[in-house]
Each structure stands twice: as structure tokens, then as C-alpha cells.
Structure 1
Amino acid sequence: MKVIRVSATLLLAASLVAPAQAEPASWTGPLSTRGRWIVDANGDRFKLKSGNWHGASGTWNGSGDINDPANHHAGEKADQVPLGLDRATMAAIVSGFKEIGVNSVRLPFSNQMIKDTNPVNGLKDAHLNGKRPLEIYDAAIAELTRNNLAVILNNHTTTSRWCCGVDGNERWNTSQSTDQWVSDWAFMADRYKANKRVVGADLYNEVRRNIWDDPNWGWGNDHDWHKASQQAADRIQQTAPDLLVIVEGINWTGIPVDGLPHGRPTLEPARHLSHTLANPDKLVYSAHFYGYTGPNHSGATGTGETSDPRYQDLSPQELTDVLQRQAFFITEAQKHFTAPLWISEFGVGGREETNPRSRDWFERFVNHLVASDADFAYWPLVGFHTNRRGNGWALLHWDANGNRMGVNDGDDWRANAWNRLVNAPQRSGQIPRETRWNMLLKESCPQNEKLVGISHTGNRGLCVSGPQWSNTTRITNEQHVTDDWRGATRNSSAREETRPSGTRTSR
């Protein structure tokens, strides 16, 4: 979810901007997870310091002549290929990514794009003209990975339209069947599985309510995001087992009207019902945060706006508490939901953003990312400018003549925060394996895990890897059980567990 901000320019001295450190090219794919950390094939921490290179998912607003740039978001027409290729060569754009310090790129696509056979023309790389969108997407992946950047495939939309309203792309199956969605993911996973720098499959972007219905997490129907994402993950792991599988939380439920229930569940449902993959060392959770939205604010102004606070309206402590509740709890150690957390979208307006609350929120959010050592992906990397004016959200902009404007040019107020983020101290080196807990969702635990608990209610089980208890206490009744770890109230922090032998123990 992104907006345009238009305001006056703030100038910063170029001498105050510390350029991003170059990312070493020594990492080895594929990537996996150990607890809350992503690691490379050698077990070394690989922090996703990413940006979003959008365009292949669509930029058309959904009305008017699709060939008229005025009918595309911010006038930035992409023709279902990564944005900016009609203004600069692919090599120049990718070089810019490395220059500002990203080591990975979230590369959105639409299901429509991968099937579109119409040729694209007018690109700066002559050898790409006449190719269909998917072939240009292939070329972008080749250029990114040749430059040692990791690529995360992101199914951003179903039809090639600008995200994210009531647009037919609200759910993975709003404009197509779940089976077709899963089949498309199998196709994409298979297409790039030989390239070990294509590291992840980000299943779907900003799952949200359509006009009539909410998505849910665990109800078992055809609006169940947990069920659908589990199904897609299983198919991807069968097709391309090296890929990380990235599940974003639910972006919105309810009708944004004061007095009616509405809000942004984000990853909160995972606290009570998480995912268990055949290879659990491939699961990553993701969430999006923008200052102009809020835990109960859709981000709208005027029609659809409610009186709820936006994230940028919260006090420092309120913001910290909300972020922890909605997403950052995922990184708590040795829980059934423990996984790396990737903030796969966040951003703010650049030179023309003068709203002090927006600026303050961005600074505070960057500070939170630094303090938590969380993985991240800025939205977006690429945009257009005319005489250094325009949408302004991107970190790199090109004009119609191919002249680049970047975050580190000296007149972008975000530069210090951005460079503080990409250069921040972080955990690095070898990450030891740790005991892993998973919910039993099928007939057996994942490989190398054992069943150690079943829930009194809810037909759930608990699996664990690593060392088992050396001592147990036999309990013949439930007098010591004060709360069921998977109780009907879904707010338990304690676990009451039953061993397969019938010995009941508490942890």
C-alpha cells in the first residue's frame, strides 16, 4: 500500500551522508533459517537488506486507456516489466541498487504477467525489445543474481493493476482459483530453481477484504489464508525445496467505518496458529508498515477514513508496543511460531515530504529495525522524476532522458536514516542450530521432529526437534493444569503437553 506525497524540498549537505557499505559477494545459496535468523548454505547469517523493484505486477490504475501514462500510478507506466527499463539499462539500474547498499531484491509479479505473450518495446536494452514480459523478468533475475544480489519472487497481484484497494486482487483467489494460484507458483518455482541466488517465494501481497468478505486465518474455508498459504508452501517445497517460503500476515479485515469492527491483523493470528512446513527451516514471516496507515486505520483520507490513529500518530512507546504485538513477536525464541521476520514493505516520501509526523515515524521505524536487527525491504527502489520532482518515494529515480536522482545526492532528508539502516551493526557469522517447535497440522511431525504434546482442545499437537526432556513427572489427572497450551480461548502462554506414552508433563 503506497501513496504520493507532494510538498516542498528540504536540502541536506552531501557531506553529512555516509554512503552505504558494499555487501560482500561471499554468500552461498540457497538460504535457510535457524530460529529467527536467515542463514546461507554455510550456516552464516544472511540479513535481507532489500528493496522492492516493482512494475511487473502492474502499474495501471484500472480505468482509462492503459497506454496513457496518466492512467498509471504516479504516471509511472511499466508495461508489466520492472520499472525504469525504458529510461535506463538494466545494468545501470542494478548497479544503482548495489551502490545504495541493498543485497537483495523483492521482485513483484502478477499472474497475468507470466501468461502475457504481447511483446514489450521501447526499452533501453535493445536486445530486450520484442520479448514478452516474463522473458524480461527472466533477464532482470539474471542481471540481479549475476551481481550477487539475492532475489525474492513476490506474487504481488493476480491481474496487472496497481495495488492495493478493492481491485480484484484482494485475495490470492479473488480473480482465479486457489488451484490455479498454486499451479502458477509451481511454474515460477520450477522456472528459477536452478539459480541458487533466487532464494525465496513471497506467496501473496497484502491479503485483505474485498467488498463483501474478509480473509481469515484458520477457518478452513476458501477465504482461509493460513490454509491456502500452507497449500502453496507444500507445492513449492515439492517443486523447488531450496526456496524460502515467505508468508505475509493479513493486511485488512472489516469495513473502515467508525463504529464497525475493522483493523489490520498482520501476523497476530500466527501466535495461535502458525505454519508447519515439510522442511520447517524454510519458513519466513513478513509484514508491511507505513506511517500513514495504522493498526486500525486503512490509510485512507476523506472517504473511508476513520478516527483511529495512524502509526505516525502513536507515541514512541505505543509504536513499539504495537509493532511487537502485530509482527515482531515472531522473533521470540523457541516458540511454535518462531521464524525470521522480514518487513517486506515500508517507506516514506522523499524530497517533497514535509509532514513532520511522516518524517518522525520513518526515523523511529528505522531505529526499531536497527535495534531489532530485523530483515527489511524498502518500497520502492525505482521511480521517475522530472527536474528532480515527482512521486518521490523511490530511493532511485530516472527522468525521461536517463538522468538519475538518488537518495545520496545530498538533498534527500531520508539519506541519513537509510544509510544508518543498511550500515547498522548486526549479528553475523555462524548461527548455531536451536531447538525448534512446530505445531502438528497433519498426520505426522516434520522430518527429524518428534511429537511431544497434544492439546486438550482444538485437535492440535506440538512437535520438537533437538534434545528431549531427561525427566518427566507422571500426572494422572488434570489438577495441575491451569491452562491448555492450545485452549479454546487462544490466549494461553503455558503449554500442557502429553507424551505419546501417556505421560503428561509441563514445560
Structure 2
Amino acid sequence: MANHVWRYWLSACVAILEVFASPNTLRATWPNGPFVTSGRWIHDAAGSTVTYVGVNWPGSLDTMIPEGLQYQSIQSIVSKIKSLGMNTIRLTYATEMIDQYYDNDETDVTIQKALTNALGQDSGRAVYDKIIANNPSFNDETTRLEVYDAIAAECAKQEIYIHLDNHISKAGWCCSPLDGNSWWGDEFFNIDNWTRGLSFMATHGKTWPSLTSMSLRNELRIPLNNVTFASSSYSWERWYTYVKQGSSAIHKANGDVLIFLSGLDSDQDLSPVVNGTALTPGSATFSQGDFSGFANKLVLELHAYDNIFGPGPSNCTTVKVKLFNAGLKALTDEAENQFPVVLTEFGLLQNGTASQDPYISCLLDYVPSANAGWMIWEIGGSYYIREGTQDQDESW
């Protein structure tokens, strides 16, 4: 009997030690990161497949404060996202926020000052008072970065991944080929400030358990405000130079996060990357060997709105072929370079005709069947200010 009891307790102790010694068990706390990629899949630390399913939350417009907090609390907004079955928020920011931090002796701007600067004294105060009423943990000393911190903390509490997106350089509405934010070296797109901003946010986000990935840049596009500059600079060859530079900046600052690469034509084309063809006008091709030490951190992102398919696409085959050729081919064995792909923006006009638009039903059928991730544009109903109009409605 004594031997039986001894063997029982010995077995129990061994089982307990095995549980606590298991690396996967030790790292099983959500989000069970860091995430890595393998071919066309994203995996967590236990090797389980992760698929991003989420929504955009803009914070890169004039105030540089995530939108909508004058109407609801952070807790309420994240709870509603969670209730939809989503697991990701693509949280956007402007490089200008980090530029101002450094220009202000490494001190961030308070939300009260940011609102006053963007909306004026009276309107700024009125919106600020509403934000404080909904989010009573904020006060006159709360900064914009602390709002990001609060969102990250709530996302960790509710187990929502944060994908941090460098949306624009000079804060404002995005994206136009004439806005000076289109391409590296454009009027407001300072390359050194961009890499500094990526490094800063990657470092700042190391304290966020919810931060699992970051983008290099939203919707790279031809800078039509300077045709001479565009003709000499806008190319896949130049894209590759800066993608390697930005990726290295993020990985050096935070080796845990995935890094999303967007393509040309407002992120509607990644074909040379997927197909391994020349990055023109040069002859070099995309090589994961050029991302030494973090090639298993790279993800491709695409954008797809119905206007890219021309007027009234009614054939789902057309939608599928265009998306496949744009970059979803990376999810298949046909690709020269396989990657996970996430549709980080898609959407349609919310004017009562959505159910009549065949594009959206085609997209919603094809993207999940391809096992691609997706993030819809966007969660907010309006903006603090957009293109000079306060509380402008968001119709997409």
C-alpha cells in the first residue's frame, strides 16, 4: 500500500513538473507570442495558426488621438469589437506625433492641447470634456501616447491583438497622390523621421502585451504633386531599399512583432514580391535572405475597395483573379515567395446600397476561403475633424 501511494505521488509530482517545464505551457498566456511566419501561415509560440480578423481604428488624423472617444469609452469600443467575433484592431498613427514628441524635448502633447490645436479653443474644450466624461481615468495631463497605452491595455484585457499602422507622416486624412505623404522623400515624408518613428513606436509598444505586429507604411502611391520627383523615385527598386531599411528599424527596436509590407498603387499591387520578378528598373528580386534574422516575421498586406475593379463588377471570378494577381497568390504553391497575406483595408459605401453591391459578397466569399486575414475600414462613425470639417461623418 505504501509503495502504491509513493508511486502515485511520484507520478503526480512528475506530471506537475512537466507542466511547469513545458515551454509552450509557460508561454500559453495570451497572446502566446511572439508570432512567427512559416510559408503562408502565421503561428503563435505553440505552433497554432493565427488568422487576423478585425477592424481599423484611425488615430492618424489632425488631432492624432484615436477617434470616437467623445461618444464612447475605450472599454465600450473594444467590447463591441470583441462582440463581433473580431480579434484584431489596426490602430493607425501619424509620424508627426513622434516628430512633435522629439521637438517638445521628448514630451508628448496632452490630448487637451491636441484638441485645442486642431479644433480651436471652444470646440476643443467641448470635445475634451466629452472624452473625459466617457473615459474618467483621463485628465488634463493625459497625453496622446497615453491614450494609445490605454487602448493597448484594454485590448490585452479583452484579448484583442493590436496591429500598429504607420498611416501617414503629416497628420490628416489619407490618402491622395497630391497630399505630400505619398512616397519616401515626398514633401512631408521625411525618411529619417519615418525610421525614427517606426523605432519609437516599436520600442514604446514593447510594454503592450497586445501588440503583435506593425506596418511599414499605409498605401504607398505615386507622388503626383511632383512629377519630376515621381519619375525618378517611384519604383519597385526604390521600394525595396526603404522596405529593408524600415523593417530593420522595427526589428532592431522590437524583435517580437510581425512586420507588414505594403505594395505600390495604394497597396493594390505586390506582384513582383510574390512572383520573384525584377524589382524594376533594376534587376534584383525580392529575397527573404535580405531580411537576415527576421525573414520569419514578414507578412504581406493588401487593400481592396470596389472601385479598383471598375464600375459594377458582377463576376466573382473577376474579383478573385484581380486579388490573386495583386498578392493573394502568395498564399498558394504557385507563388515564388509564399507569405501570409492580410487584407488590412476593404470596405464599401454605407448608404443603404451595400447589399446590392456584388463586390462585397464576392470578397467575403473569396478571402476566407483563401485563409487570408482581413480588417474592415473602419469602426468609427465620424472624425474629430477631417479635411476642415468637425465631426465629419464616415460613410465607409
Verify same fold: TM over 0.5: yes
Determine the structure 2 residue equivalent to 1:119: 110
- Give the letter for the 1:101 counterpart: G
Corresponding position: 1:237 with 2:240: no
Hey, what's the Cα distance between the residues in 2 that align with 1:292 and 1:381?
A: 20
Taking the TM superposition and a 5 Å limit, the aligned residue runs for 1:344-493 are 344-350=344-350, 352-354=351-353, 359-384=357-382, 391-393=394-396
Hey, what's the Cα distance between the residues in 2 that align with 1:336 and 1:250?
A: 19
Corresponding position: 1:105 with 2:105: no
- Contact 2:313/2:358, CA 8 A, preserved across alignment: no
- Give the letter for the 1:119 counterpart: T
- Give the letter for the 2:346 counterpart: F
Shift of 1:282: 0.4
- Give the letter for the 1:167 counterpart: D
SS at match of 1:289: strand
Query: C-alpha deviations, 1:192-241, integer Å up to 9, x for none?
Result: 1243431111110000011221664443xxxx222101111112222211
Determine the structure 1 residue equivalent to 2:333: 333
- Contact 1:30/1:196, CA 8 A, preserved across alignment: no
Shift of 1:178: 1.5
- Contact 2:329/2:335, CA 8 A, preserved across alignment: no
Shift of 1:353: 2.9
Determine the structure 2 residue equivalent to 1:448: none
TM-score, with normalisation over the residues of structure 1? Answer: 0.58
- Give the letter for the 1:169 counterpart: N
Determine the structure 2 residue equivalent to 1:199: 212
Corresponding position: 1:89 with 2:100: no
Determine the structure 1 residue equivalent to 2:269: 266
Hey, what's the Cα distance between the residues in 2 that align with 1:27 and 1:355?
A: 34
Label 1:25 to 1:371 Cα distance change in 2 as closer, same or farther (>3 A): farther
Label 1:181 to 1:367 Cα distance change in 2 as closer, same or farther (>3 A): same
- Contact 2:56/2:379, CA 8 A, preserved across alignment: yes
Higher helix share: 2
- Contact 2:348/2:354, CA 8 A, preserved across alignment: no
Determine the structure 2 residue equivalent to 1:53: 57
Query: C-alpha deviations, 1:258-291, integer Å up to 9, x for none?
Result: xxxxxx7611121223352222110000010000
Query: C-alpha deviations, 1:404-430, integer Å up to 9, x for none?
Result: xxxxxxxxxxxxxxxxxxxxxxxxxxx
Structure 1 unmatched ranges of 5 or more: 1-23, 61-78, 253-263, 295-308, 394-507
- Give the letter for the 2:135 counterpart: D
- Contact 1:158/1:172, CA 8 A, preserved across alignment: no
- Give the letter for the 1:29 counterpart: G
Aligned length: 315
**Identity over aligned pairs, percent:** 24
Taking the TM superposition and a 5 Å limit, the aligned residue runs for 1:91-170 are 91-114=75-98, 115=100, 117-121=108-112, 122=128, 123=131, 124-130=134-140, 131-165=142-176, 166-170=178-182
Say which is worse superposed, 232-241 or 372-381, in terms of deviation.
Answer: 232-241
- Contact 2:167/2:218, CA 8 A, preserved across alignment: yes
Shift of 1:159: 0.8
Determine the structure 2 residue equivalent to 1:289: 304
Shift of 1:382: 2.0
Hey, what's the Cα distance between the residues in 2 that align with 1:104 and 1:111?
A: 22
SS at match of 1:292: helix
Hey, what's the Cα distance between the residues in 1 that align with 2:217 and 2:82?
A: 26
Label 1:339 to 1:91 Cα distance change in 2 as closer, same or farther (>3 A): same
Label 1:182 to 1:334 Cα distance change in 2 as closer, same or farther (>3 A): farther
Shift of 1:336: 4.5
- Give the letter for the 1:111 counterpart: T
Hey, what's the Cα distance between the residues in 2 that align with 1:88 and 1:265?
A: 33
Shift of 1:331: 1.1
Hey, what's the Cα distance between the residues in 2 that align with 1:207 and 1:390?
A: 25
Shift of 1:25: 8.4
Hey, what's the Cα distance between the residues in 2 that align with 1:246 and 1:180?
A: 19
Determine the structure 2 residue equivalent to 1:29: 33
Shift of 1:27: 4.2
Query: C-alpha deviations, 1:376-435, integer Å up to 9, x for none?
Result: 1111022149xxx95443xxxxxxxxxxxxxxxxxxxxxxxxxxxxxxxxxxxxxxxxxx
Say which is worse superposed, 240-249 or 329-338, in terms of deviation.
Answer: 329-338
Shift of 1:327: 1.4
- Give the letter for the 1:367 counterpart: D
- Contact 1:33/1:282, CA 8 A, preserved across alignment: yes
- Give the letter for the 1:160 counterpart: A
Structure 2 unmatched ranges of 5 or more: 1-27, 102-107, 113-127, 278-284, 384-391
Corresponding position: 1:210 with 2:223: yes
Hey, what's the Cα distance between the residues in 1 that align with 2:82 and 2:40?
A: 26
Corresponding position: 1:44 with 2:42: no
- Contact 1:230/1:275, CA 8 A, preserved across alignment: no
Label 1:127 to 1:236 Cα distance change in 2 as closer, same or farther (>3 A): same
Label 1:151 to 1:316 Cα distance change in 2 as closer, same or farther (>3 A): same
Taking the TM superposition and a 5 Å limit, the aligned residue runs for 1:490-501 are none
- Contact 2:152/2:210, CA 8 A, preserved across alignment: no
Hey, what's the Cα distance between the residues in 2 that align with 1:167 and 1:86?
A: 28
SS at match of 1:86: coil
Corresponding position: 1:246 with 2:249: no
Hey, what's the Cα distance between the residues in 1 that align with 2:110 and 2:91?
A: 20
Taking the TM superposition and a 5 Å limit, the aligned residue runs for 1:300-311 are 309-310=310-311
CA RMSD of aligned residues (A): 2.4
Hey, what's the Cα distance between the residues in 2 that align with 1:338 and 1:229?
A: 17
Label 1:92 to 1:25 Cα distance change in 2 as closer, same or farther (>3 A): farther
Label 1:217 to 1:145 Cα distance change in 2 as closer, same or farther (>3 A): farther
Shift of 1:356: 6.4
Shift of 1:133: 1.6
TM-score, with normalisation over the residues of structure 2? Answer: 0.74
Say which is worse superposed, 196-205 or 281-290, in terms of deviation.
Answer: 196-205
Shift of 1:251: 2.2
